[in-house]
Amino acid sequence: MTFIPIRRSFKPKRCLLGLVLLILMTTTVRAGQEGEPPAEESQFGFARHLYQQGDSHRAVTELKRYLFLFPSGAKADEADYLLGEVYFQLKSFYEAIAHWEGLLKRKPQTPFKEEVQFKIGKALWELGREDEALSRWEKLALDSSSPSLKRSAARAVLWGLIKQKHYDTARRKLKQFALPASEQEIHETYILKAEQLALKSPTTAGVLAALLPGAGHLYLDRPQDALIAFGVNGLFAWGAISSFQQGNSGLGVLLSVIELAWYSGNIYSAVNTAHKNNRKQESDLLNNYGIRFGLFSSTPSSQGLYMAFHHAF
């Protein structure tokens, strides 16, 4: 039996080069991993980025993901707080309230507890539960440990009372709140302005329009509309009367029906214009008041005045 020797080629230089490359690759991977932020920080940072960019639906998903993966994480309290904020952005006010109240029950000592109370008041206001909102804000205005939040809550209470036309109550509350004397004077000025708004009576406008087409608009300081209403109604009335006098009953009836529509529209327009003018005056005053004290953005949303109270935390 003959054995054929197997020749193994061993090249030290090639093996050494491979070893060096392996070490370099391992070092590079390890360095890359050490340079990356922790998974918890990345998850929360991404969720907060979505919230700040207004991508609310994705922000909800990512905040929930963070809370599921890191229920006791360093940012868990803030994530819980922001999740309610995102619900509020989405105008899911019931969900926002339920989430925030659940947060207070689960974590009564959360560092965001007063901010949560303030924001619950916002959601209640949006739902039309204004008295409940004012009650929460007033409690914060009197008892909050944060001076800035205390001032924001006091301003919100005063704004809400003026909006409700509770001027005497607003003055009484103003004396109870710890606001600088110079600021109290400004609040008092706005209360006085609200009381002295030159509002028009819709009833008076409607009655005048019924007695004489155009008179209601003249009362509302809209002479051009008054002239149009008087002229159009007068022409149709004259045409209807002339038609009946000339024995053309069919045309007379047609013109009478058209005139009745214009006459009714003249009354409706006068009443509606009075309401619109009053709302605009009140809205302008409240908007300026809110912007003056940082209660909401100077840019109303497409759905109307969007309250966006600001408090740094």
- Among the residues of 177-248, which ranges form H helices? 181-195, 202-211, 215-219, 223-245
- Which structure tokens are listed for 142? 């009197």
Predicted pLDDT at 302 = 32
In a domain, 4, yes or no: no
pLDDT-based confidence at 306, cuts 50/70/90? very low
* 24 found inside a domain: no
Residues 99 and 232 in one domain: no
Task: Retrieve residue 85's tokens.
Answer: 């904020």
User: Dihedrals φ, ψ of 301, to 5°?
Assistant: -75, 170
At residue 296 the predicted structure's pLDDT band, cuts being 50, 70 and 90, is low
Contacts of 87 (CB under 8 A, 6+ apart): 60, 93, 95, 96, 99
pLDDT tens across 246-276, in order? Answer: 888 888 889 889 989 999 999 999 999 999 9
Q: Give the pLDDT confidence of 46-67 residue by residue, as tens digits.
A: 999 999 999 999 999 999 999 9
Of 18-22, 44-48, 102-106, 284-288, give the lowest mean pLDDT range: 18-22
Residues 209, 188: one domain? no
- Outline where 36-112 has alpha helix (H): 39-52, 56-69, 76-89, 93-106
Element (H, E) at 298: none
pTM, to two decimals: 0.72
Q: Is residue 22 part of a domain?
A: no
Verify that 209 and 191 share a domain, yes or no.
no
Looking at this protein, which amino acid is placed at residue 131? Answer: D
| pLDDT of res. 265 | 92
Angle among Cα 63, 64, 70 to the nearest 5 degrees reads 85
Contact indicator for 119, 142 with CB cutoff of 8 Å: no
pLDDT of res. 294: 78
pLDDT tier at 156 (50, 70, 90 boundaries)? very high
Do 216 and 190 fall within a single domain? Answer: no
Structural domain that includes position 208 = 202-292
Question: Would you state the pLDDT for residue 312?
Answer: 36
Beta bridge partners, 304, equal 301
* In the predicted structure, residue 212 carries a pLDDT above the cut 80: yes
pLDDT at 90: 94
> How many CB atoms neighbour CB 42 within 10 A?
12
Of the candidates 269, 182, 189, 268, the one whose C-alpha atom is nearest the C-alpha of residue 225 is 269
- Same-domain check for residues 187 and 208: no
Residue 23 has pLDDT above 60, yes or no: no
Same-domain pairing of 71 and 152 = yes
In a domain, 95, yes or no: yes
Average confidence score pLDDT of the chain: 84
Cα(259)–Cα(230) distance, integer angstroms: 11
Q: What is the DSSP letter of 54?
A: T
In a domain, 99, yes or no: yes
Q: Give the residue with greater pLDDT, 144 vs 14.
A: 144
Provide mean pLDDT across the span 229-240: 89
Characterise 183 by phi-psi region: left (phi > 0), alpha (psi -120 to 50), beta (else).
Answer: alpha
Residue 212 lies in a domain: yes
Same domain, 132 and 216: no
Predicted local confidence at residue 236, as pLDDT: 85
Bridge partners (DSSP) listed for residue 301: 304
Q: How many CA atoms lie within 13 A of 201 on its CB side?
A: 6
Q: Which residues pair with 124 in a beta bridge?
A: none
- Whole-number Cα distances in Å, 4 to 1, 10, 264, 304: 10, 19, 118, 95
Total number of domains constituting the chain: 2
Q: Say yes or no: 272 and 165 in one domain.
A: no
Domain boundary among 195, 230, 253: 195
CA dist 98 and 264 (Å) reads 48
